[in-house]
Amino acid sequence: MAGYLIARSWTFRLAPLFMHKPLLAGLLVGACISCGDERPDDVHLLAKVGEVEITAANLRAFEAGLKGAAMRSQHRDNVQTLIDREVLLLQANERGLQRDEEVLAELAKRETKALADAMLRRNVAAKVAVTEDDIEKAYARPGWGEKVVTMEIFVPNREQARQVQALLAQGEDFAEAGRQFAADPYYGVHTGEIRRLAYSPFDSPRDLVQAVFALSVGGVTEPLSLHGGFVIAKVAERRRAALVEVEEGIREALGDEQQKQLRESYLRHLKWDLDTVFDAEGMDIVVGVLQGAVGYADLDEAQREHPVYAFEGLQMDVAEVLEAVRPAGRLWPEASADAVNEKLAESHFPTRIMAHDARRKGLDKTEAFVRSQAWALGNLMLIKLREQVLAEAPAPTEDDLRAFYEEHKHRFRSPPHAQLEEILLETPSEARQIAAQIEAGAEWAVLARAHSRRRDAEDGLLYVSQSQAPFLGEAWMNAVMNAELHQVQGPIQTRGGYSIFRVIERYPEIYHGLALERVRSVVVRDVRERIEREHFNGYLRDSRQKYAAQIDVYEEHLRYLDDESKRGE
């Protein structure tokens, strides 16, 4: 089973790595299979790495965080993952990472955040209660029971967004503009396909949802920043949604509203209870540095430690406030005391005082929290270890990139597509009648406006690609892609009725090569990830061998765990 041990972020995510049965068997040293039926006294003990015991409780806690019953039932693989964690921690300790300044600084930040989150759960989240009556009342509000269906064009940069806007302003069809410019949001390569999505008013992304709900049918948004590029959306339909469609979204939105109100109430109480004091002189120093009137390097130690806020045995000084409100040390020419306070109120100030409230109530001394912090320290040590190990991984070569590209060439392909005139009718007889009128010289656009059931094709003009076959029908798509140009075809059954069409133009598939910067950057990223994964897994295999004498796995105890799981099914 393959996977990452550590995610590429400060969030630790444990998962089994490459594992082979012979290697796993080699790690099961000191294990003996019990032939009797009597349960051992230490049946809870599943493995030991040095002095560290891995128990059934440890395994259950780990498996509780896994997605899917299948992963949770793979006890042996999951025990191996916990063993691997301890093996890598031995390596990290040898490197002295338990004393690393970056690790300890991050641990302190995480402790503060964890304590604040615990107080939020206790004083806010635990008190949220959304009733069915609340949901029904919200559903009755204007807009809350509505869905907006959009057609969306994603482009990777602002220049292409402007070009799409210019085309639309000249009266170009939205689908045609999409055919010319639409790109894949993940890879950034041209596909020519517009996306069709449906939103409720409380969905995300918020900027896009708010923009489309402000428009009537046919309205088009300005380019909106999204996924590292820009989205232009057209409102194709507005419809009333059944309560069952939006019930969970309404519940979540109402819960968020309640949490916001409860959080504000809790913070107001804390500020009063902690006797919070504001120091205007400290704030003046902060504003002066932000505006550029004085350089941070020119502040003496007393100025940097001057309080801005103080409360019950704790203070936020100038240095801390500056770090919180100006990422990367950038200037903030329009800074003011009110603006700084608003920025602090977003997260830093509430987190600090909630964590202080947790500490004065002894939450940081509880056994559960101390245990969680020890686990967090281990996670941070492993993340640092991974960074150090991956720094030693070889860089991708040009041959690596070319081989990967050839293997995954289909990912960088714009599928074949066609431009056609089409009319969709309810029955075959209707379709044959309309086909006869066309053959007799009737105008296609006039007939399409009067009879076609396909409402998103203006005057019957349609652009389709091979990738839409699952939605439009395989037989119909094959007919389109193989029909003689400018010849009336059909009726052919497709989703929604019977189609007659004539193909105006067909365009072949296009493969975007490594010369295209967007393709190259994706290939470099994916190849580097593969090299790093293989390099790290090699390091893990070597670490297993290095510490094999310190690993004991109690295979017979796992048998009892399996028996318990079967009885619980």
Where a domain ends, among 508, 533, 550? 508
What does the pLDDT read at residue 227?
Answer: 85
Residue 565 lies in a domain: no
Residue 26 lies in a domain: no
Regarding whether 336 and 287 lie in a shared domain, the answer is: yes
Residue 272 to residues 188, 275, 386, Cα–Cα distance (Å):
51, 5, 45
Expressed as residue numbers, the domain containing 458 is 416-508
Do 361 and 273 touch, CB atoms closer than 8 A? Answer: no
Regarding whether 289 and 384 lie in a shared domain, the answer is: yes
Regarding whether 296 and 373 lie in a shared domain, the answer is: yes
Element (H, E) at 463: strand 461-465
What does the pLDDT read at residue 12?
Answer: 37
What does the pLDDT read at residue 13?
Answer: 37
Domain count, the chain: 3
The DSSP result for 494-509, as a single string, is ETTEEEEEEEEEEE--
Residue 159 lies in a domain: yes
Neighbouring-strand partners of residue 418 = 464, 506
d(CA 457, CA 173): 9
Contacts of 557 (CB under 8 A, 6+ apart): 40, 42, 43, 44, 45, 46, 56
Q: What is the CATH number of the domain that holds 187?
A: 3.10.50.40
Residue with the two structure tokens 């007393």: 302
H-type helices in 391-418, by residue range?
A: 398-407
What does the pLDDT read at residue 317?
Answer: 95
Do 465 and 389 touch, CB atoms closer than 8 A? Answer: no
d(CA 486, CA 501): 9
Do 363 and 115 touch, CB atoms closer than 8 A? Answer: yes
Residue with the two structure tokens 């009737």: 442
What does the pLDDT read at residue 160?
Answer: 92
Regarding whether 305 and 383 lie in a shared domain, the answer is: yes
Residue 14 lies in a domain: no
Residue with the two structure tokens 């967004």: 161
What does the pLDDT read at residue 473?
Answer: 86
Residues 455-509: pLDDT tens digits?
A: 777 788 988 887 788 878 889 999 999 999 999 999 999 988 999 999 999 988 8
d(CA 344, CA 321): 8
Contacts of 239 (CB under 8 A, 6+ apart): 146, 147, 149
What does the pLDDT read at residue 476?
Answer: 93
d(CA 124, CA 6): 32
Q: What is the pLDDT along the chain (569 residues), one digit of tens a residue?
A: 333 333 333 333 333 443 343 333 333 333 333 344 566 777 889 999 999 999 998 998 888 888 777 676 788 889 999 999 999 999 999 999 999 999 999 999 999 999 999 999 999 988 999 999 999 998 888 778 889 999 999 999 999 999 999 999 988 889 889 988 998 887 778 888 888 998 988 888 989 999 999 999 999 999 999 988 999 999 999 988 888 888 888 898 899 889 999 999 999 999 899 999 999 999 999 999 999 999 999 999 999 999 999 988 789 999 999 999 987 678 898 999 999 999 999 899 999 999 999 999 999 999 999 999 999 999 999 999 999 999 999 999 999 999 999 999 988 888 888 999 999 999 999 999 999 999 999 999 999 999 999 877 778 898 888 778 887 888 999 999 999 999 999 999 998 899 999 999 998 888 999 999 989 999 999 999 999 999 999 999 999 999 999 999 998 887 777 666 554 44
Q: What is the dihedral of CA 179, 185, 189, 191, to 10 degrees?
A: -30
Whole-structure pTM over 0.85, yes or no?
no
Residue 488 lies in a domain: yes
Instruction: Strands of 184-323 (E only): list them.
Output: 195-199, 224-226, 229-240, 277-278, 307-311, 314-317
